[in-house]
């Protein structure tokens, strides 16, 4: 019987402690892999010590079976360098030596630090290392959003000089060294998994070899599509919802501005539409941002309802009475989970016409697009969406089914096997060459010191 693949998944958060999209994707992958009889999978999720048990130790169990582990760590947000490498590397190296993975798949490096990539490679030359890129943090110090500080103007390309203008407290040389440092750690990664082609192109332009960039969209659990909401006589398709994190980049302020415009310019329509805001993390945003929403929320209270945070299992109930999901993000986005979730449940999307949003939403086919950052165009888009009952039926029927989690993980496993096989062959070839050189010199076989490098190749 073939030996099980041993796969270690690293995530920058556990979805039960940090309910973000990347955390959910990493956990979904872990659960699907661990359900396969030919896989033995462990999840290592970073946390900051809050809301978790045993937070006085770096490494702890999140589940009793030892399959879901928490790692208490935090690193420098500029170079993603950990301030105490020994404190991080010793327990991680112990975990690697205990589990002996064939594959380590990272869904982030922001908490562990990019040096963890070198640690894994130093532990074994034959282990496959993959990194799923969820945004542009390596390229952009502005929270990986690739928008200008202050104005939130879209940034087309990062350069040391341009980055220094966004962050005048740092010199262009700092950004040059930051980029060089991160790229030096990225060298040991076998494949960078890109959930959107747009993101892959951005990283290729930044300097990641195209041969290492693999496009593979994130998968979704299967779920029955919701029927279109039943309309009363004369009712419009005017129930909209915003879902996700409430931060400056997600465009909730822009959406409120668009609703205000409708209230001012078309009062009759304003009385026949509604917008539900469902999101989280507003409490950790700046006071300035929270205050910027207070006035618009008050002025649009007859149209807008603040629904608060939600759990993903609540989405069918939330969207049953909704016509459209609005994704007005101000940044490029990669592969917005909210779009896939809306499509999975049969709801068309209204989205900004940039980045991964434009890649997933086809205007006039499965949703509508508007010019990113343009409140006037968004207001016009909402008005047309509400009034276009026939158009809605056509778009709703054409909403695609996202890639299923089973097919998604099948693709990941094919990638794992390809890399592991190539690495093991290269490792054995190197050992054979070294042995031949030693024999030619009349020396004995390779010393035992070479054995730890092959730890993952058993």
Sign of CA dihedral 434, 97, 9, 112: negative
pLDDT digits (tens, 9 = 90+) for 283-334: 889 999 999 999 999 999 999 999 888 988 999 999 999 999 999 999 999 9
Rounded to whole angstroms, the Cα distance separating 31 from 11 reads 13
Q: Which CATH class is domain 5-220+405-457?
A: alpha beta
What is the 3-class SS of the chain, one letter each residue?
A: CCCCEEEEEEECCCCCCCCCHHHHHHHHHHHHHHCCCCEEEEEEEEECCCCCCCCCCCEEECCCCCCEEEEECCCCCCCCCCCCHHHHHHHHHHHHHHHCCCEEEECCCCCCCCHHHHHHHHHCCCCEEEEECCCCCCCCCCCCCCECCCCCCECCCCCHHHHHHHCCCCCHHHHHHHHHHHHHHHCCCCEEEECCHHHHHHHHHHCCCHHHEEECCCCECCCCCCCCCCCCCCCCCCEEEEEEECCHHHCHHHHHHHHHHHHHHCHHHHCCCEEEEEEECHHHCCHHHHHHHHHHHHHCCCCEEECCCCCHHHHHHHHCCCCEEEECCCCCCCCCHHHHHHHHCCCCEEEECCHHHHHHCCECCCEEEECCCCHHHHHHHHHHHHHCHHHHHHHHHCCCCCCEHHHHHHHHHHHHHHHHHHHHHHHHHHHHHHHHHHHHCCCCCCCHHHHHHHHHHC
Reference 277, options 262, 295, 256; nearest CA is: 256
pTM as predicted:
0.90
Give me the phi and psi of 370, to 5 degrees please. -135, 160
What is the predicted pLDDT for the residue at 304? 97
Rounded to whole angstroms, the Cα distance separating 90 from 69 reads 16
**Longest pairwise C-alpha distance within the chain:** 93
Q: Which residue has the tokens 């500080």?
A: 149
What is the predicted pLDDT for the residue at 3? 83
pLDDT digits (tens, 9 = 90+) for 337-391: 999 999 999 999 999 999 999 999 999 999 999 999 999 999 999 999 999 989 9
The reply to whether 239-397 shares the fold of 5-220+405-457 is yes
| CATH 3.20.20.70 fits domain 239-397 | no
Rounded to whole angstroms, the Cα distance separating 114 from 92 reads 13
What is the predicted pLDDT for the residue at 51? 54
Is residue 339 within 8 A of residue 327, CB to CB? The reply is: yes
Is residue 328 within 8 A of residue 257, CB to CB? The reply is: no
- Tell me the mean pLDDT per 10 residues along the chain, length 458: 89 86 93 96 86 61 86 88 83 94 94 93 95 96 94 93 96 97 98 97 97 96 93 95 94 97 97 95 91 96 93 93 97 94 97 97 97 98 95 96 95 96 88 79 56 41
Is residue 148 within 8 A of residue 164, CB to CB? The reply is: no
Is residue 130 within 8 A of residue 102, CB to CB? The reply is: no
Rounded to whole angstroms, the Cα distance separating 111 from 95 reads 17
What is the predicted pLDDT for the residue at 443? 66
What is the predicted pLDDT for the residue at 41? 97
In the chain, where the domains are located: 5-220+405-457, 239-397
């Amino acid at each position: 019987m073939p030996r099980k693949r041993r796969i270690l998944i690293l995530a920058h958060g556990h979805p039960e402690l940090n309910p973000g999209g990347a955390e959910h994707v990493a956990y979904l992958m872990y659960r699907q892999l661990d359900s396969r009889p030919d896989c033995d999978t462990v999840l290592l999720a970073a946390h900051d010590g809050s809301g978790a048990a045993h937070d006085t130790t770096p490494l702890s169990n999140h589940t009793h079976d030892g399959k879901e582990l928490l790692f208490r760590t935090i690193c420098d947000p500029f170079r993603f360098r950990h301030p105490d490498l020994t404190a991080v590397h010793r327990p991680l190296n112990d975990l690697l030596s205990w589990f002996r993975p064939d594959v380590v798949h990272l869904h982030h490096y922001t908490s562990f630090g990019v040096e963890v990539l070198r640690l894994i490679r130093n532990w074994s030359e034959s282990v496959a290392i993959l990194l799923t890129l969820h945004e542009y943090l390596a390229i952009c110090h502005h929270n990986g959003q690739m928008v200008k500080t202050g104005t939130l103007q879209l940034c087309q390309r990062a350069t040391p000089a341009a980055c220094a203008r966004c962050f005048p407290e740092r010199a262009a040389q700092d950004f040059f060294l930051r980029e060089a440092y991160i790229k030096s750690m990225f060298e040991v990664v076998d494949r960078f998994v890109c959930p959107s082609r747009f993101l892959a192109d951005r990283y290729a332009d930044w300097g990641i070899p195209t041969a290492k960039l693999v496009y593979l969209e994130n998968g979704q659990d299967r779920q029955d599509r919701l029927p279109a909401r039943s309309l009363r006589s004369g009712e419009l398709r005017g129930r909209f919802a915003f879902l996700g994190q409430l931060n400056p980049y997600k465009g909730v302020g822009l959406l409120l501005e668009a609703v205000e415009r409708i209230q001012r310019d078309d009062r009759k329509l304003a009385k026949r539409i509604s917008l539900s805001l469902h999101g989280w993390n507003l409490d950790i945003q700046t006071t300035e941002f929270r205050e910027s929403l207070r006035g618009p929320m008050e002025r649009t209270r007859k149209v807008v309802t603040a629904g608060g945070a939600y759990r993903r299992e609540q989405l069918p109930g939330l969207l049953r009475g909704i016509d459209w999901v609005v994704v007005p993000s101000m940044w490029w986005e990669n592969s917005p989970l909210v779009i896939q979730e809306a499509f999975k449940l049969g709801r068309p999307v209204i989205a900004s016409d940039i980045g991964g949003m434009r890649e997933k939403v086809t205007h006039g086919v499965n949703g509508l697009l508007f010019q990113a950052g343009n409140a006037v165009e968004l207001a016009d888009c909402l008005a047309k969406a509400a009034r276009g009952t026939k158009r809605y039926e056509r778009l709703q029927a054409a909403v695609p089914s996202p890639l299923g989690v089973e097919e998604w993980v099948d693709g990941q496993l094919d990638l794992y096997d390809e890399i592991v096989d190539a690495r093991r062959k290269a490792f054995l070839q190197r050992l054979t060459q070294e042995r031949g050189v030693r024999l030619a010199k009349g020396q004995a076989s390779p010393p035992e010191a070479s054995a730890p490098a092959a730890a993952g190749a058993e």
